[in-house]
Structure 1
């Protein structure tokens, strides 16, 4: 059913608010299934599985490092999965079964601890407090809220801050042990895994989830369906171009999120023009504007688009 309105901007806002579930969602859901305890009926509950518990050792939880190139849509993916995973939902306003934060600026472990406290609704804490004291508050706060999953987005920025990787991982590990231990999800660009997995102990504690790049060969059918769905919602006919998907994937650098952004931007251009059908010209218009492509280097117009170097779009042909 069409959701198009007489206001093109509202239609585009509605499109951006849509979430399209794909097989990518299942990759993260499978990890949550593995890391959460189950009740007698086999259903996950908001309590992490505790691993390697021996003797007086309280054991620890496990985590996930999810990596994908910039513009892939990983942040939207993780937020949607955590927001809809049944075991992580609660009607209790005093309970936060999952908590997500983005690494702040400055990207220090102390600033991250303060950001977690702020996002949890904890009263303001002075930045003059010691690092370990702040993270002690973090552990207490997560336990108080009944938090099972802590998600840190753009985690690669944290490891660029100049502090030793070992020290950062040790602090993160502290909330994965003892009473109130949580499952840690770290997300970022491809380099995150190389930075974080500096030894076998880290590789044992974190499972790597790498979201594969999109290709026209493997994702054409899916992208055609998605584009058709968006066009239907916007009240437009789908585009006729036979090689549009290949151009779209190339122009989007193989990133799923960028493909969606480019589709919606092209639909916006069509609506603002008052056109009734989405066309390759709409993609060419918005892509050139966003990328600053020099004449002759527009992926959606050039007959030799596969030879275009996307790193040199602004240079004259």
Structure 2
């Protein structure tokens, strides 16, 4: 594991930077690590290496599909793995690194994705007339040329959209061909649940069978993940020198406000802390949290941060059909 130890922040600038970079664990980190372990060879000490496992008969590698609704923390989870795992070192031109991380733009076609990969691996001779199949052949060749062992494609569902000028089956085939590259790369793709549905649309099912699946779910109130969220929030507040009243049940209110979506809950929790630090407040009141929440969700008469006992507020919001999020 990489050393991520940092000194305690003191100034407002240091505190805000610390908060921005702070990762809050929810338990999916261990699940991801367990799934990643299956993609690679191990050494004689049982430690995962950067060498992808390959089928001795076909030469193909293995893949992992990380699925979750928008706002469920897929990107943060994968980027954390790149920061802390000594095997998944991020590839950059002219730097050591074996893992190429790609975020697919919303309007990207499969050809555009190949061009992005080429650019990120230092290929500067991209011709506008280059065919998609040729672009992918060059991209797969470059993996071995520059030492890439793992390819992570975030927001992968974007290349699976049907429509004019798009080729869903071609996109699926391109993913399969990545795992057929020589000398071989492990493939990790992440997206919303429709990504799985799209890959399943391939009549043969050949590509889908090559992937393990990791499903990220929402935080349920009272669950272990909810307890971890509370600890993350409280520990961060303590480091930043901000007090939270336990009786206010702020973690539970945040989770409820964002319907348990991990990424959105973390973003709101951090924004509430940021508001306190930047305005030099020593404590966070429900009124402060309510004000922060309403900036992104205007027009609400009542929010989970209403200044009353949490059980009473929750019951009232449930009664009126809380639908925010």
What is the match of residue 306 of structure 1?
Answer: 318
For structure 1, which segment, 202-211 or 232-241, has the greater mean C-alpha deviation from structure 2 after superposition? 232-241
Give the equivalent residue in structure 1 for 2:62. Answer: 62
Tell me which residue corresponds to 2:77: 77
TM-score (norm 1): 0.87
Q: Are positions 1:203 and 2:204 aligned together? A: no
Measure the CA separation in 1 of the matches of 2:175 and 2:79. Answer: 20
Cross-structure match for 2:4: none
Tell me: CA distance 1:105–1:90, structure 2 relative to 1, closer, same or farther (3 Å).
Answer: closer
Q: Is the 8 A contact 1:147 1:182 kept in 2?
A: yes
Partner of 2:136: 135
Q: TM-score, normalised by structure 2?
A: 0.85
Q: 1:168 aligns with which of 145, 166, 171?
A: 171
Equivalent residues, number: 306
SS at structure 2 position matched to 1:65? strand
CA contact (8 A) 1:114 1:127 kept: no
Report whether the alignment pairs 1:154 with 2:166. no
Equivalent-residue separation in structure 2 for 1:138 and 1:75 (angstroms): 23
The gaps in structure 1 that reach 5 residues or longer are none
Counterpart of 2:180? 177
Structure 1's 90 and 117: CA in aligned 2 closer, same or farther, altered over 3 A?
A: closer
2:288 alignment partner, SS class: helix
> Does residue 287 in structure 1 map to residue 287 in structure 2?
no
Contact 1:193–1:208 (8 Å) recurs in 2: no
Q: 5+ residue gaps in structure 2? A: 1-6, 308-312
Number of the residue aligned with 1:109: 110
Inter-partner Cα distance in structure 1 for 2:49 and 2:324: 50
* Alpha-carbon separation, structure 2, partners of 1:65 and 1:109: 18
User: Residue 47 and residue 273 in structure 1: after superposition, are their counterparts in 2 closer, same or farther (change >3 A)?
Assistant: closer
- Which position in structure 1 is the counterpart of 2:41? 37
Shift of 1:131: 0.8
Is the CA contact 2:25–2:228 (under 8 Å) kept in the aligned structure 1? no
* CA deviations over 1:202-224 (Å, ceiling 9, x no partner): 33211111012101210332122
CA contact (8 A) 1:98 1:150 kept: yes
Per-residue displacement from partner, 1:29-72 (whole Å, max 9, x unpaired)? Answer: 11221110122332222211112x43xxx331111110112122
Aligned with 1:25: secondary structure? helix
- Residue 256 (structure 1) aligned with residue 262 (structure 2): yes
Preserved CA contact (<8 Å) 1:39 1:45: yes
